[in-house]
Structure 1
């Protein structure tokens, strides 16, 4: 009996993981016969799970919208509370919990009873969140990307570049990265034949799944660091490096990870980031309130001297006027 229950839970987990499974694929993953799979599918149906079966060679099993939630042990109000909470976290990322909440929401919405779906949709529409510094993201886009990553499927979507131009993108998605303020997608762009980092809030349509793809060598072992470098340094004209005479822990609290890379340097802090203008780095670093040294580029030191002279003259003129 215990073995059967464990097998049913494994089968349910597999059905939630992928949009559709063939009987042969399920049998292979579970190391059982297709006859056992059919029998276990029947048992899950008696527990209230609507599992659809399509005949033929290309047919398979698909988990439909649930009629009840027996194994989750949630009543209607609890199910709504969990779904709304996960939806809120997905739209306004909480560092470290964002991607997990998307996966959980994908699974929960698949088995949410039909009688609760209008209530959930109504509550999500009625609740308005105050503006926050994070970029708003459509949870449907996140769930679609998360599912495509899990199933290793090519996706197609409309994407707005930083200059506002819209284009159709066909990509192989491999990872969602949450910076705490924005979501980014790491994917292989099939048209450009190269790795790209996409801001998920700039997706103008819900990604549509296409054929499966084979895994490629990743652009970096640490994809979070890869995304940070691509959004803070790679797109810009100047690569800025400064040494700040303050502990890295203090600097990191003032500098978001999507602005600059921050690392400890023998008690000081090395901060690296990109900029198209040399004026903005001076303003940003000076506003931190710490002593600092400019390590690169050399033009930034020249700009700092010129700015310092200009500020000194302005202060001197103000003092002279006051006398």
Structure 2
């Protein structure tokens, strides 16, 4: 009996989401119940937090409205596939996506029926995107989704990680947060073998495997994951060194170099120093081009060679 009522209420909620307004008689006919039963089910939905307005009169019209809180939504198959693909595409290709979007993707993929997973994978593979600038390695959206679930559930995972020298090792860690910095995604996690916090670049991470062991949430030093990751990145060694003395105030440079605030040092009111070092030569060129002001550069030979060749190609194209 209870299961019948639950199924009927879910069906009622689905109907309310598909049309702006329903009459009580129409709903009763669709659900094969009396109008009185519809009224009782509407009251139950309101008790659960769904904002259902009703119009007076014999017809007794009903409609879902906006409320103070977002109640659970029901999606049909096509809607679920569309939202999953959209979230995967955003997570894997766009910059600036918030961690909340990854949590939404994790929730949706966790309950996505098996019959729809093949559709999502096929549609994702068929989509083509245009990258207007080289922002470095792209991340597999499925990897982002799997790690988002592990972060949400505080579940220890194991994964293969490729180090800077190309050596692959199997790691075991407590995942905490996913952070996007300048187009590169990082997993902030507590390495269980080293008993310390570590940053793992997602483009070097493969084969994440849940262990089934969940642990209490571990507080991040300073209670600010993004700031903690930024401080670690600013102190981490990079493959290509490039330090610019910029002839502009630090605030000007900060506004033009997203994610590099911890590498910016004011010298005086009109000058500052920016450490634009990176593992990716094109990204150094993009950072310097974004300064929109004059600067002097102290950089490694490979950086200077890359910048010189880029400038020469540009000049040749103008002739």
Deviation at 1:136, TM superposition (A): 1.6
Indicate how the Cα distance of structure 1 residues 151 and 282 shifts in structure 2: closer, same or farther if over 3 A, else same.
closer
Indicate how the Cα distance of structure 1 residues 171 and 243 shifts in structure 2: closer, same or farther if over 3 A, else same.
same
Deviation at 1:182, TM superposition (A): 1.2
Structure 1 equivalent of residue 120 of structure 2: 120
SS in 2 for 1:154: strand
* 1:290 counterpart = 2:290: no
Q: Say if 2:176 and 2:218, in contact at 8 Å, map to a contact too.
A: no
Unpaired runs of at least 5, structure 1? 10-42, 44-69, 295-299, 312-323
| Mean CA deviation greater in 188-197 or 107-116 | 107-116
Q: 1:214-256, CA deviations, whole angstroms, 9 ceiling, x for partnerless residues?
A: 4445334332122223224322599987552224465346545
TM-score, structure 2 length as denominator? 0.57
Structure 2 equivalent of residue 87 of structure 1: 88
TM-score, structure 1 length as denominator? 0.57
Q: Say if 2:84 and 2:108, in contact at 8 Å, map to a contact too.
A: yes
Deviation at 1:134, TM superposition (A): 4.2
Deviation at 1:185, TM superposition (A): 1.0
SS in 1 for 2:206: coil
Indicate how the Cα distance of structure 1 residues 135 and 207 shifts in structure 2: closer, same or farther if over 3 A, else same.
farther
Deviation at 1:151, TM superposition (A): 1.9
> What is the correspondence of 1:122-141 to structure 2 with a 5 Å cutoff?
122-131=122-131, 132-141=134-143
Q: Say if 1:141 and 1:207, in contact at 8 Å, map to a contact too.
A: no
Structure 2 equivalent of residue 109 of structure 1: 109
* Distance in 1, Cα, partners of 2:194 & 2:179: 21
Structure 2 equivalent of residue 59 of structure 1: none
Unpaired runs of at least 5, structure 2? 1-5, 11-43, 45-70, 309-319
Deviation at 1:289, TM superposition (A): 6.0
> What is the correspondence of 1:263-302 to structure 2 with a 5 Å cutoff?
266=269, 268-272=271-275, 274=277, 288=291, 290-292=293-295
Structure 2 equivalent of residue 257 of structure 1: 259
SS in 2 for 1:198: strand
Indicate how the Cα distance of structure 1 residues 211 and 290 shifts in structure 2: closer, same or farther if over 3 A, else same.
same
- Please, which of 173, 188, 191 is the counterpart of residue 189 of structure 1? 191
Aligned residues: 231
